[in-house]
Chain A
Amino acid sequence: MGFEFNTETFRNDFTFRNSPRAIARFPFPFDRDDYMYSVNMEPHVPGRPGSVFEHAFDVDEHYLAEMRDRDLVLKEDPLRCQSLPHMEMAGWDLLELIMESKARDYPDWFELHRQGNKWHWINKPMQIEQKFTFLDSSTLPYGPMEYITRQTQGDFTLQDQRDENLWIEAGMVTTQADWSLDFDIGMGFHEWHAPVPLAHEKGVFDRALKFLLKLQHGAPVRRFNWTMTVDPLLDTSPENYPKWGPTRAEITPENVGQRMHLRVELQTLWRLPRSNAIAFPIRCYLIKFDELVTQPKWARRLHRVVRDLHPDLAAYKGFLRNRDTMVAYLSQYDDGAPTSPGWWPED
Chain B
Amino acid sequence: MTKTVFEKSIRSRPVYDELQPRPGTAHLCVADGEGAEAVCDLFAKAGTAAAEMLARSHIIYVPGPTGTDLFAKVQALGAAQCHRSPSFWAAEPRLRKVLADAHMGLQVYLAGTETLIGLAQRDVIEAGLPHDAVQTEHRGSLSRRVQCVHCKGITENVTTDPFTCSHCGLNLFVRDHYSRRLAAFQGVNIDAEDPGTVPPAVERFK
| Residues of chain A having any CB pair with chain B under 8 Å | 79, 163, 180, 182-187, 190-195, 200, 238-242, 245-246, 248-249, 321
**24 chain-A/chain-B pairs, Cβ below 8 angstroms:** A180-B186, A183-B177, A183-B179, A184-B179, A186-B181, A187-B179, A187-B180, A190-B11, A194-B11, A194-B176, A194-B177, A195-B175, A238-B149, A238-B150, A239-B149, A239-B150, A241-B149, A241-B192, A242-B150, A242-B189, A245-B192, A246-B192, A248-B193, A321-B193
- Asked if A195 and B192 sit within 8 Å, CB to CB, the answer is no
- Asked if B10 and A183 sit within 8 Å, CB to CB, the answer is no
Which residues of chain B in 179-195 are interfacial with respect to chain A, using CB atoms and an 8 Å cutoff?
179-182, 186, 188-189, 192-195
CB distance from A130 to the nearest CB of B (A): 32
Query: A190: nearest residue on chain B (CB-CB)?
Result: B11
Chain B interface residue bracket vs A: 20 to 34
- Asked if A241 and B179 sit within 8 Å, CB to CB, the answer is no
CB distance from B41 to the nearest CB of A (A): 29
Query: B180: nearest residue on chain A (CB-CB)?
Result: A186
CB distance from B79 to the nearest CB of A (A): 32
Distance, CA A325 to CA B188, complexed state (A) = 26
CB distance from A233 to the nearest CB of B (A): 14
In the complex with contacts A79-B152, A180-B149, A191-B11, A242-B192 CB distance below 8 A:
yes
Supply 8 further A-B pairs (C-beta < 8 A) apart from A180-B186, A195-B175: A185-B181, A194-B13, A195-B10, A200-B11, A240-B150, A241-B150, A245-B193, A246-B195
In the complex with contacts A194-B12, A194-B13, A242-B170, A183-B149 CB distance below 8 A:
yes
Residues of chain B lying within 8 A (CB to CB) of residue A180? 149, 186
- Asked if B188 and A241 sit within 8 Å, CB to CB, the answer is yes
Query: A249: nearest residue on chain B (CB-CB)?
Result: B193
Asked whether B135 is an interface residue with its Cβ less than 8 Å from the other chain, the reply is no
Which residues of chain B in 158-206 are interfacial with respect to chain A, using CB atoms and an 8 Å cutoff?
170, 175-182, 186, 188-189, 192-195
Distance, CA A240 to CA B149, complexed state (A) = 9
CB distance from B116 to the nearest CB of A (A): 20
Residues of chain A lying within 8 A (CB to CB) of residue B182? 183
Which residues of chain B in 77-99 are interfacial with respect to chain A, using CB atoms and an 8 Å cutoff?
none
Residues of chain B lying within 8 A (CB to CB) of residue A190? 11-12
- Asked if A183 and B11 sit within 8 Å, CB to CB, the answer is no
Query: A237: nearest residue on chain B (CB-CB)?
Result: B149
CB distance from B10 to the nearest CB of A (A): 4
Distance, CA A249 to CA B150, complexed state (A) = 20
Distance, CA A185 to CA B12, complexed state (A) = 12
Query: A180: nearest residue on chain B (CB-CB)?
Result: B149
Asked whether B143 is an interface residue with its Cβ less than 8 Å from the other chain, the reply is no
Residues of chain A lying within 8 A (CB to CB) of residue B11? 190-191, 193-194, 200
Distance, CA A216 to CA B142, complexed state (A) = 44
Distance, CA A321 to CA B149, complexed state (A) = 23
Residues of chain A lying within 8 A (CB to CB) of residue B189? 241-242, 245
Distance, CA A246 to CA B196, complexed state (A) = 11
Closest 6 CB pairs of A and B: A245-B192, A194-B12, A186-B181, A194-B10, A191-B12, A194-B11
Query: A240: nearest residue on chain B (CB-CB)?
Result: B150
Residues of chain A lying within 8 A (CB to CB) of residue B10? 194-195, 200
Query: A169: nearest residue on chain B (CB-CB)?
Result: B181
CB distance from A238 to the nearest CB of B (A): 5
Residues of chain A lying within 8 A (CB to CB) of residue B188? 238, 241
- Asked if A187 and B12 sit within 8 Å, CB to CB, the answer is yes
**Contact flags B144-155 to A (C-beta < 8 A → 1, else 0):** 000101101000
CB distance from A55 to the nearest CB of B (A): 35
Query: A243: nearest residue on chain B (CB-CB)?
Result: B192
CB distance from B135 to the nearest CB of A (A): 18
CB distance from B55 to the nearest CB of A (A): 34
Residues of chain B lying within 8 A (CB to CB) of residue A184? 179
CB distance from B8 to the nearest CB of A (A): 11
Distance, CA A195 to CA B10, complexed state (A) = 7
CB distance from B154 to the nearest CB of A (A): 12
Residues of chain B lying within 8 A (CB to CB) of residue A182? 152
Distance, CA A190 to CA B10, complexed state (A) = 9
Distance, CA A242 to CA B187, complexed state (A) = 12
- Asked if A183 and B186 sit within 8 Å, CB to CB, the answer is yes
Residues of chain B lying within 8 A (CB to CB) of residue A239? 149-150
Distance, CA A192 to CA B180, complexed state (A) = 11
CB distance from A226 to the nearest CB of B (A): 21
In the complex with contacts A192-B12, A242-B192, A186-B179 CB distance below 8 A:
yes
